[in-house]
Structure 1
């Protein structure tokens, strides 16, 4: 390890709430605050030693000023800890960790909390012409969830339209995509039932029928009905193959990681889990965002000198089954090494959270399987892909 390496001390996440499910009433900054509290408790890091917090968030309408700052204060960090909210669509959470990595490597910070947050059950509806006035006639109400989170800004089409194009390019059938969805759900359910996923999760207090309870179990995989999923119709056109069952679900959740310098770890007695080996972003035509993770992973591997055989586990965000299938096909990834605890088709894809969530899950998987090297990647709305590599330390 180099003296300026950035280390991941620990990572946590909330359980993933279903759309309008158990976490629907909890604003995204409060979900992130639960992760901040949990992270500080697990690592026993003095809160006043943390230099900054970076938190990704995609759909910020109605959240109030600087959601990351809210997460920091509500999470128990002192007012002296600065906070920055960033939006890089699906990459928001992972980009936050990249910024933490850079801050530590450059010596600008020694201890940074980084992650992502999203509550897709809560975005408001928008009156885009309300400021100037309507004068007369009908107008349109926009759903911020769809407008800011799920629509390509360059073609004004739902992201799923381009997922269908990806499936068509590779000849992926609906059955192949459904089979992938079953794989994701099966692995996620097994992780829940065996207690594996519980290691990642910090509880969120919610109120149900006037009583306070803890929300600590991913909702989606436990409701899965394979027979029903296989009967779902194409969601983005009659000739398509992408359905609500083989695409990621709409969900609520947050995740956070503590990134530290070697010096801070030694000074405070922190035991790092892994070092951040590197990260990469790859950009191309917006309509082919589905294939951008391939370029991001190739760019990353070249940068750090790894190849596929050097990597023990992969986390490929399952925005759509066809994205993960394309990444596996193009890069020759062994399916048994990809998303071993299920992915976004089963757990869901809270957009601003997922980039951090897959890193938390990746670390858990490496630790449990005895692996050492891991890579996580996501497709990103707007035509980008992002990837990060980590390596466990003894």
Structure 2
């Protein structure tokens, strides 16, 4: 029996599972979405640029400062290094620079390191509490969860899943997209983010979607 191995994704794959669903890596699924939903390279790069610009603007305004706990890293020599800012965003990003990057999946592909999310260290926590807990601990809620849902689509185009999920959730909550002031949407890859927003009828780089940048 053949043992499959991929640098990103499942390892020691069940052949039957592979036969049913494939073993596309995350970048490959983004390329699949780009092809299936006709999202070209130029639009992906433009989306990535706007995301970088929005993040840089939010950082400059201190938008994330209260959400980040500074981490001190002792050095063998010299002062302690303090990490208090997300290290991934690149404020110096340009459209010209993005356009020069090579595709990561195939030679004629559209997904690059510039229009895909980066991989770096980090951790996050979100406190969810009941009404009783909010009162008992004198908490001040930032938001209220009014509905949740789940959908399933082909793994090979997994990044498109927010589109049917959002439609299902809005119907479930008896709300419309027009009622949303801000939409925080996964943008692991510009290709899938654009495929989702277009399916929802939103303009590319809508002011409502990830106004403070994304992944």
Under a length normalisation based on structure 2, what TM-score does the superposition of the two structures give? 0.85
- Tell me which residue corresponds to 1:315: 184
| Alignment partner of 1:158 is 2:29 | no
| Alignment partner of 1:202 is 2:75 | no
User: Aligned partners of 1:290 and 1:188: how far apart in 2?
Assistant: 21
Aligned to 1:214, the other structure's residue is in SS state strand
Under a length normalisation based on structure 1, what TM-score does the superposition of the two structures give? 0.48
Aligned to 2:187, the other structure's residue is in SS state coil
- Tell me which residue corresponds to 2:88: 220
User: Aligned partners of 2:156 and 2:25: how far apart in 1?
Assistant: 10
**Cα pair distance change 1:169/1:188, threshold 3 Å:** same
Higher strand proportion, which one? 1
Aligned to 2:124, the other structure's residue is in SS state strand
**Cα pair distance change 1:300/1:230, threshold 3 Å:** same
Where does 1:90-239 land on structure 2 (aligned, <5 Å)?
A: 143=7, 146-148=8-10, 154-210=21-77, 211-222=79-90, 224-226=92-94, 227-239=96-108
Deviations 1:242-297 (A, max 9, x none): 11111111122111111111122222222222211111111021112122111111
User: Aligned partners of 1:229 and 1:202: how far apart in 2?
Assistant: 31
User: Aligned partners of 2:30 and 2:198: how far apart in 1?
Assistant: 16
**Cα pair distance change 1:232/1:272, threshold 3 Å:** same
User: Aligned partners of 1:283 and 1:180: how far apart in 2?
Assistant: 26
User: Aligned partners of 2:114 and 2:151: how far apart in 1?
Assistant: 28
- Contact 1:188–1:342, Cα closer than 8 Å, also in 2: yes
- Contact 2:74–2:80, Cα closer than 8 Å, also in 1: yes
Where does 1:1-394 land on structure 2 (aligned, <5 Å)?
A: 143=7, 146-148=8-10, 154-210=21-77, 211-222=79-90, 224-226=92-94, 227-334=96-203, 335-344=206-215
User: Aligned partners of 2:44 and 2:124: how far apart in 1?
Assistant: 27
Give 1:218 deviation, angstroms. Answer: 1.2
Deviations 1:145-185 (A, max 9, x none): x2459x99742332212211211222222111000010000
User: Aligned partners of 2:165 and 2:171: how far apart in 1?
Assistant: 10
**Cα pair distance change 1:298/1:140, threshold 3 Å:** closer
| Number of residue equivalences | 203
User: Aligned partners of 2:153 and 2:37: how far apart in 1?
Assistant: 18
**Cα pair distance change 1:265/1:178, threshold 3 Å:** same
- Contact 1:308–1:333, Cα closer than 8 Å, also in 2: no
Aligned to 1:278, the other structure's residue is in SS state coil
Deviations 1:316-349 (A, max 9, x none): 11111011101110112351100111111xxxxx
User: Aligned partners of 1:140 and 1:218: how far apart in 2?
Assistant: 35
Unmatched runs of 5 consecutive residues or more in structure 2:
none
Give the root-mean-square deviation of aligned CA atoms: 2.5
